[in-house]
Amino acid sequence: MLNKEQNEYVTRVGPGTPMGDLMRQYWIPAMLSSELPRPDCPPVRVLLLGERLIGFRDTDGKVGLLGDHCPHRGASLFYARNDDRGLRCVYHGWKFDVRGRCVDMPSEPPDSTFKDKVRATAYPCEERGGVIWTYMGPREVPPPLPDLEANRLPDGQSTAIAYARDCNWLQGLEGDIDTAHIGFLHFGSEDAADAPPDTFRYYTLKDRAPRYAVLDTEYGSMYGAYRPAGPGRYYWRIAQFLFPFFTMTPTGLLGRQVICRAWVPMDDEHMMMFFMRPKPTPDLEEFIQRHVKPPKLLPNTTGWLGRFRLEANEDNDYLLDRDRQERNEEYSGIEGIHTQDQAITESMGPIYDRSREHLGSSDVMVIRVRRRLIASARALAEHGTPPPGVDQPEAYRQRSGGIILDEDADWVEATRDLRQAFVAHPDLDPSIVGGFV
């Protein structure tokens, strides 16, 4: 568990907080490219690391992310006109480009140079793989973007999804690095006898209490959860945490799975999960719709918390079906893997008091990641030490997934090649997965 001081340290992300300062060292997913569908489209409110920002795409297609308040007298730039390569505040006509420069000040005399002295808060943006990234840190020249395979696929081959959650960012992330809940929350009503024999799904359902190995890496931490897979073999689920808030879950075949999630804080009590992966084939998309059951979303609104909201939410008990739960047709009574996770992490409250926890052996990865986050934030705050991966984009070239190994195999060495991103392994047979696990 964490004491109250440690919990505050690791969960608060606003300007000037240790964890907020750590996150601002990195490029951060801020929006989906689809939120700004064309040049000069309406601007969008973006709440990010406790800061209120306005995202827009200018006439040339460039993306800007400006502070909400106009530097003149504080009017919101959400109401600005987006035209002719900038946002023009409708109060007095001051216009700002994507770099925050005031490029027109029509309320001042024509010979005035005052506009050259005024700048709006502006954060540089880059687009890649359907995601708009921003850098909110102190460097004049930002570090490189992380070399995440799921976000570096050729044009048209990747997809990006976003879901909002009403809870602290760490609750979402910790759920993604907790493999023990799979056999209960998601598949508690299933039996090993119903799964294809000798598959990952079969072994997951047969033994719901795996053992763990955890180690630190140059980019974060990695765990291997292992359970028996027949005489002399183990089924390993290998997953990644990558600074400051990325995860790669072990839901597919190691060597073939390409996946990444970012658990991005909007503020201390709200977060946005960005899910990056290859564009699914029609057969895979049908499987996802039938078995994973992605959540349905409410229409986006223009509010600060109006983006990518689930239809199933706390107000309607996440559409909990007690009859299905009682008949053991759905262990949680809640339909859909993401919705199940969302219900549980939001049910903990906006920021869970971790001093009340009772952690077990299945929480070793959660414990390791907390320690790494706190230690890295302190090293930055006290000694100016750059946190892991900031200047090593190649360190993010990782994969996750499942594999069956001999029981005496060194799991790290035996999987080294399969964990390398951007490497094809056409000989691997994904049917061994046996469905989503």
CATH number assigned to the domain comprising residue 52: 2.102.10.10
And the tokens for 96? Answer: 């700002």
And the tokens for 201? Answer: 């799904």
Low-confidence residues of the chain: pLDDT under 70: 437
Cβ contact 10:18 at 8 Å: no
Domain end among 141, 167, 198: 141
Task: State the pLDDT at residue 431.
Answer: 92
9 lies in a domain?
Answer: no
Cβ contact 146:127 at 8 Å: no
Mark whether 65 and 181 lie in a shared domain: no
Task: State the pLDDT at residue 72.
Answer: 97
Task: State the pLDDT at residue 284.
Answer: 85
Domain end among 110, 141, 172: 141
* Structural domains counted in the chain: 2
Mark whether 424 and 299 lie in a shared domain: yes
Please tell me the distance from the alpha carbon of residue 414 to that of residue 418, in angstroms, as a whole number.
Answer: 8
Residue in 90, 85, 97, 79 with CA at minimum distance from that of residue 42? 79
Mark whether 46 and 137 lie in a shared domain: yes
14 lies in a domain?
Answer: no
Please tell me the distance from the alpha carbon of residue 356 to that of residue 273, in angstroms, as a whole number.
Answer: 26
Q: What order of strands is seen across the sheet that includes strand 63-67?
A: 44-48, 51-57, 63-67, 122-123
Mark whether 126 and 154 lie in a shared domain: no
Dihedral pair phi/psi, residue 413, rounded to 5°? -70, -40
What DSSP letter does each residue of 197-253 carry, written as one string?
TTSHHHHHHH----EEEEEE-SSEEEEEEEEE-STTEEEEEEEEEETTTEEE---SB
Question: Can you give the pTM of this predicted structure?
Answer: 0.96
